Amino acid sequence: MQHNPRSSARFPTVLITRERKRCEEFCAVLEQAEISVVAAPVLDIHPLLSSSEWRTYAQALEQYDGYLITSAESVRSFLKPLLQSCEATGLYEEATAKRLLSERLYCVGQETARACAALGLSPALIPATQDANGLLAAIAQQGPQHNKRYLFAGSSEARDTLPFGLSALGATVIRLAVYTIVPVALPPTLRSLLLCGEIVRVALNSPSQLDALLTDLELEPHDLPKDLRFAAIGPTTAAALEQRGLSPWVVSPQPSMRAYGEAVRDALHKEHKPNRISPIDENKEGVSFMPISFKQSQAWIERARHIMPGGVNSPVRAFRAVGGTPPMIRRAQGAYLWDEDGNRYIDYVGSWGPMILGHAHPEVVAAIQAAAADGTSYGAPTVREVLMAEKIRDFFPSMEMVRLVSSGTEATMSAIRLARAATKRDRLIKFSGCYHGHGDSFLIAAGSGATTFGVPNSPGVTAGTAADTLLAEYNDLTGIERLFSEYPDSIAAIIIEPIPGNMGLIRPEPGFLEGLREITSRHGALLIFDEVMTGFRVAAGGVTELFGIKPDLITLGKIIGGGLPVGAYGGRADLMQQVAPVGPVYQAGTLSGNPLATAAGLATLEHLTPALYARLEETCKQLEDGLRAGLSAVGRDLYLTRYGSMLCLFFCQTPVRNYTEARHCDTAAFARYFHAMLERGVYLPAAQFEAFFVSASHTHDDIQHTLQAHQEALAIAFSA
């Protein structure tokens, strides 16, 4: 089955030739309409004036009758540093400088006006006009322009008509080049997607962007892919397209990012009527069962069993908890997976959590390819490692220092080693059902009591290792107090999935997490939050942000690698300073801070904006409400939990508060439900005790298909 990205989503992806931070409103409008946007600049801005020149213009602030500003970039490159220079030199107080500038300010376009407003500036004489001609006419109506002096601040390449028009009216116009524009090469992935016709909608913000794009692609206009269409932010850009024989697909009615986004959105809505993206047959009665061929998957799994244990490289992939043969996945895009037999699935596994943006996000792929072109591993410090650690700290302020590793397991193993060294104690408390990777200290089962010494639950884990791990029941503070009483001054730390996702998704009862913080502080033990799964999922800052609790150490993984192997641990600076090379606690890794993983992680984290989380919350709420409605429709009262973009449907009718209660679920009914959903093109985690993951790529149609399949699958699950 050939890959056609236009069939894998309701709308084609839109490329806007600008940095994302300068087109947030455009992106937000499209993403709220479930339209994928890729922002990639083809031009870069280089400021031209020195600090001494700024002092000169600050001193001459009142010598001009007007300052002509026609772009938001001129605001950033001229007005902002001018105000800073006024204040730095002591020539004007901030309020005075802003008043004097506002009295002389003339600007074009709503985007320019908003950039001015962000600096506390507002044109006092003439409100911002939509175009230069409107401003010119308004200035002319003010009276004779002889003896008037204006300063026009723009790019070195500017050919604006406004200065010429004012000169014709008798005014003196000083043209000041405050920045220059230089071409920027597109990432190789985006170039190839454009050239092969995979991206067919491009939003331009200026004629020079069109020229830069054509130069980068090394094509003449008539050689462009026939399906490629260009949107223009205004008439000037539209005219440039027409001059090159390219008919504008969309022309924004106003030169603002929001209006531009709305125009592109509306055009796409007209072109693409809603369609169902199901990989299976449908009829008026709902989602029909369609036998899916697994011949290729079965053949490959059988072949794999001869060379890999169970035919897989991680046990849950083998479908032992639900039976049957797992699909052998060939590729993924957005919210979808395709297997070797060509079956397509709506994916709620998301590689077990990392794919919050969806699979193969163009900017993440481009970042990986660009990094790979510079080498795949160095075993030496890199800038991206620093940027990644700083970015993590931005989301998790209590991680005052960060160490990058190659997996979540490595992060948790390193964290407990550090905790034992810092406290000079050996014992560790973990909770039954919480998963922290396959380190020996974590593969411990309960003994005879609910809270007790652990015993190994995997051959190869020594009894001595198990003896240092104490088990407690999740949501049971009394048991924690008992353990600290029985083993005073010997417990180094509590490690916990603060919201567990590996015994289903379980809610912490009110006061439970706060109680752990108080108890550990009182006894001189450390509190470790394992947020490998919940970090960036339940909230941008994970459970730490959601509950306002400050653990001593935090472990992360999954999302921070954008789908590549990565992990991190960090916390209080005094603790992290004990890690080698500055401290005695040894931890090292050949591939720690790998350049591909950090590139993918940074590209992913850049997209985790409040707008994305708001959209994700809307999608997840739709799914949650629909799942509950489906349960009511078939007369079942199953227990459903959700935090952020994680969900779990427990096949039991009472609330689940811990692992003991989770084990009462009807796993046989879940297995029937799982396979019914799979046959209807919905790929769920292959175990009752795993969470569903929703991505920013899931659409309204995906959710509707899932909900209809859900209702039918429930009927099958309880028919036995």
Side chain identity at residue 616, one-letter code: L
Q: What is the largest CA-CA distance in the chain?
A: 97
- Hey, is 145 helix, strand or coil? coil
Instruction: Check 260, 435, 639, 659 and give the catalytic one.
Output: 435
Query: Rounded CA gap, 65 and 171, in Å?
Result: 10
Query: Dihedral of CA 83/87/89/93: which sign?
Result: positive
* DSSP letters spanning 645-695: TEEEEESSSS---SHHHHTTS-HHHHHHHHHHHHHTTEE--SSTTS-EE--
Q: Is 193 left (phi over 0), alpha (psi -120 to 50) or beta?
A: alpha
Other CB atoms within 10 Å distance of the CB of residue 601: 30
Q: What length is written for the chain?
A: 720
Instruction: Check 558, 659, 701, 702 and give the catalytic one.
Output: 558
**Tokens encoding 149:** 């002096």
Q: Which residues pair with 539 in a beta bridge?
A: 535
**Tokens encoding 192:** 């190839």
Is 295 catalytic? The answer is: no
Query: Rounded CA gap, 633 and 624, in Å?
Result: 14
Query: Rounded CA gap, 321 and 316, in Å?
Result: 8
- Hey, is 506 helix, strand or coil? coil
φ, ψ of residue 59 in degrees (nearest 5): -65, -25
Query: Dihedral of CA 264/265/268/270: which sign?
Result: negative
**Tokens encoding 228:** 């490629």
Tell me the H-state helices in 196-336: 207-217, 235-243, 257-271, 295-305
Is 44 catalytic? The answer is: no
Cβ pair 430, 401 in contact under 8 A: no
Q: Which residues pair with 155 in a beta bridge?
A: 179
HSE-CB of 602 using CA atoms within 13 angstroms: 21
φ, ψ of residue 6 in degrees (nearest 5): -75, -15
R_g of the chain, CA atoms, integer Å = 30
Is 435 catalytic? The answer is: yes
Question: By C-alpha distance, which of 522, 523, 579, 582 is closest to 553?
Answer: 579
Distances (CA, A) of 202 to 10, 213, 524: 17, 10, 58
Side chain identity at residue 365, one-letter code: V
**Which position has the token pair 């996945």?**
329
Burial zone of 285 (CB within 10 Å; 0-12 exposed, 13-18 middle, 19+ buried): exposed
Report the Cα–Cα distance between both ends of the chain, in Å, rounded: 36
Query: Rounded CA gap, 40 and 213, in Å?
Result: 11
Cβ pair 458, 431 in contact under 8 A: no
Side chain identity at residue 290, one-letter code: M
Cβ pair 205, 252 in contact under 8 A: no
Cβ pair 694, 334 in contact under 8 A: no
Distances (CA, A) of 196 to 96, 227, 313, 486: 55, 10, 35, 68
Instruction: Check 341, 468, 476, 530 and give the catalytic one.
Output: 530
HSE-CB of 133 using CA atoms within 13 angstroms: 2
Cβ pair 686, 322 in contact under 8 A: yes
Q: Which residues pair with 493 in a beta bridge?
A: 428, 526
As annotated, the active-site residues are 435, 530, 558
